Amino acid sequence: MPVMEFLERNAREYPNEIALVELNPEEKDTRRTTWKEYELIQPDRFEPYRREITWSVFNEKANRFANMLIGRGIKKGDKVAILMYNCLEWLPIYFGVLKSGAIAVPFNFRYDAGEILYCAELAEVDMIVFGPAFIGRIEANADRLSKGRLLIYVGDNCPTFAESYHELVADCSSQTPDIPITDEDFGAIYFSSGTTGFPKAILHKHQSLTQAAEMEQKHHATGREDTFLCIPPLYHTGAKFHWMGSLVAGSKAVLLKGTRPETILSTISKERCTIVWLLVPWAQDILDALDARLLHLEDYELSQWRLMHIGAQPVPPSLIKRWKTYFPNHDYDTNYGLSESTGPGCVHLGMENIHKVGAIGIPGYRWTCKIVDEDGNEVAKGDVGELCVKGPGLMTCYYRDEKATAETLKDGWLCTGDMAMQDEDGFYFLVDRKKDVIVSGGENIYPVQIEDFLRTHDKIKDVAVIGLPDRRLGEKTAAIIEIKDGMNCTEVEIDEFCKELPRYKRPKEIIFHEIPRNATGKIEKPKLRKMYGADQLVAQENRG
């Protein structure tokens, strides 16, 4: 069943209940508006403090956009890119694309002008829908982007090279278009995160979207009374498909703009949020603020908050132990996944398994997993190999990239590129990215293990371990360390602390620097390798 049918059901059964809230408490303007009021206000003149829409309005907006697309010649299988920050328009536009039979193609809002052009051409998009923040980036290549494509602008003062979304949808029908869509039809193209090079276009059928939605609702027992807090960008599979648990349940969600600890806690308190998905840096910031007594839990109403879950990257066990000291009654879950598996959940810890913190968990709803060696043979429990997953949320292919598809999809299994091991209880533990493994003197070193250890140091806020070129060993381990605000730390302290590690795992070089992370919280290790690896290699060559 395509996910649009959940939206139709909610509009039919809960028409006047709130579906989405957009909240930006970090903006000065604190006027409250409904969607109807918002349409009477020029959208880019100010950022409203709070907007909300009901399920019926959500569905009507999706239908209007779908009918507009059809009227402008968008056909089943055509591709519509979405390039906007999180807002109330984002999801109705996304569902409008799906209802029209077209393929939704969310763009990373961090893409520069060149990356936008690259992804538009790779995915062969027929339309780009973009917001005010992206006028300059679209305009930079407007001549090439507009060839054979429609450019639709969501905002006021429409640029001359685009057409106005608000004008186009104003007179369109709010009825569901008569376009037959099945689970076997193509529904979306997502892009790989690009942390290992240029993004790949990942093609999914509608079956994948439905699987992700139903799995999220099941994993976290999302009910009608829940309110989900969504902070990460909706272009990412993680944010969107975690939200889809609310879609399946027919419950409210809050789209929050702002990541400061006080903003997050205040929103949870005022909006009565029950389920919150955080990235590691945001959880760390909340804990640091509580440790420093910059925030006081008694200032907020948090008794309704039942679940905190984290995904998108390895989660340090030390972080969850700290979290439970402040929030002992919280359920906790971590979710592992890739855009190739329709986002998080193909492996998940499970709320009942907090005693296994440190593991990414067990196979998710309708998924199976295995760990294989270089020859594709399954390894014994306790041995390290590459994690492979299989399930109904698997991508169809890398669009227009047969070689990469053949390397990643093998006999119906997705080879994740992540090194993992399985313990005697059947729980999977992520060891590292296959490409991130450091080979030093013939020994495989897994950076995540060292990073988890270093994060237990009370002065360390964040850490990334990478391999740097070494003439004798091939590679040596280097720890890039970000120290907590207001603290001082020396290499000697870190060296002394690391004596608890086996000698071959101890970092050979300590670098104090801020840790770069992308929009979904993943450490940008290629950027760090470029910053430090090339310099080290040049220095070695000069010494030689």
Write down the pLDDT at residue 471.
64
CB atoms closer than 10 angstroms to residue 479 = 24
Token pair in block for residue 349: 């810890």
Write down the pLDDT at residue 494.
94
Reduced to 3 states (helix: H, G, I; strand: E, B; else coil), residue 138 is helix
φ and ψ at residue 36, rounded to 5 degrees: -60, -45
Residues with Cβ within 8 Å of 257's Cβ and at least 6 positions away in sequence, in order, are 22, 23, 24, 26, 27, 47, 85, 86
Alpha-helix runs per DSSP H in 100-205:
113-122, 135-139, 142-145, 165-169
Write down the pLDDT at residue 543.
36
How far apart, in whole angstroms, are the C-alpha atoms of residue 43 and residue 153? 12
Q: Is-contact 59 99, C-beta < 8 A?
A: no
Produce one character per residue of 291-317: b if its CB has 16 or more CB atoms within 10 Å, e if not: eeeebeeeebebeebbbbbbbbbbbbe
63: region left, alpha or beta (phi > 0 left; psi from -120 to 50 alpha): alpha
pLDDT per residue as tens digits for the range 261-309: 999 999 999 999 999 999 888 898 899 999 999 999 999 999 999 999 9
Helices and strands, counts by H and E, the chain? 18, 28
Q: Give Cα separations from 191 to 105, 108, 323, 519 (angstroms).
A: 8, 8, 32, 13
Write down the pLDDT at residue 197.
56
How far apart, in whole angstroms, are the C-alpha atoms of residue 13 and residue 66? 22
> 18-23 and 50-54 as β-strands: parallel, antiparallel, unpaired?
antiparallel
Q: Which is it for the CA torsion 503, 509, 510, 513, positive or negative?
A: negative
Token pair in block for residue 464: 């990334």
CATH assignment, 4-230: 3.40.50.12780
**Can you tell me which residue has the tokens 């000065």?**
28
**Can you tell me which residue has the tokens 């990215």?**
433
**Within 13 Å of residue 252, how many CA atoms lie on the same side as its CB?**
19
CATH 3.30.300.30 residue ranges for the chain:
440-543
426: region left, alpha or beta (phi > 0 left; psi from -120 to 50 alpha): left
Maximum pairwise Cα distance, the chain: 74
pTM: 0.82
CATH 3.40.50.12780 residue ranges for the chain:
4-230
In CATH, 440-543 is 1.10.10.10: no
- Determine the straight-line distance between the first and last CA of the chain, rounded to whole angstroms: 64
Residues paired with residue 387 on neighbouring β-strands, in sequence order: 371
Write down the pLDDT at residue 540.
41
Q: Is-contact 157 45, C-beta < 8 A?
A: no
Q: Is-contact 385 373, C-beta < 8 A?
A: yes
**Can you tell me which residue has the tokens 């909340």?**
286
Q: Which is it for the CA torsion 435, 436, 439, 444, positive or negative?
A: negative
Which residue, among 187, 289, 186, 193, has the nearest Cα to 232 in the 3D structure?
Answer: 193
Residues paired with residue 186 on neighbouring β-strands, in sequence order: 205
How far apart, in whole angstroms, are the C-alpha atoms of residue 113 and residue 134? 9
Write down the pLDDT at residue 442.
59
Q: Is-contact 119 191, C-beta < 8 A?
A: yes
pLDDT per residue as tens digits for the range 17-28: 999 999 988 664
Give me the count of residues in the chain: 544
Strand order, beta sheet including 460-470: 460-470, 474-483, 509-512
Token pair in block for residue 357: 């913190």
3-state secondary structure 408-460: HEECCEEEEEEEEEECCCCCEEEEEEHHHCEEECCEEECHHHHHHHHCCCCCE
How far apart, in whole angstroms, are the C-alpha atoms of residue 44 and residue 157? 8
E-only strand ranges, 159-212 = 163-164, 186-191, 201-205
98: region left, alpha or beta (phi > 0 left; psi from -120 to 50 alpha): alpha
Q: Give Cα separations from 100 to 26, 96, 133, 287, 395 (angstroms).
A: 36, 6, 26, 45, 21
Residues with Cβ within 8 Å of 466's Cβ and at least 6 positions away in sequence, in order, are 436, 438, 447, 477, 478, 480, 525, 528, 529, 532, 533
Q: Is-contact 29 49, C-beta < 8 A?
A: yes
How far apart, in whole angstroms, are the C-alpha atoms of residue 325 and residue 199? 39
Sites in the chain below the pLDDT cut of 50: 28-48, 195-196, 534-544
Q: Is-contact 270 25, C-beta < 8 A?
A: no
**Can you tell me which residue has the tokens 């694309």?**
97
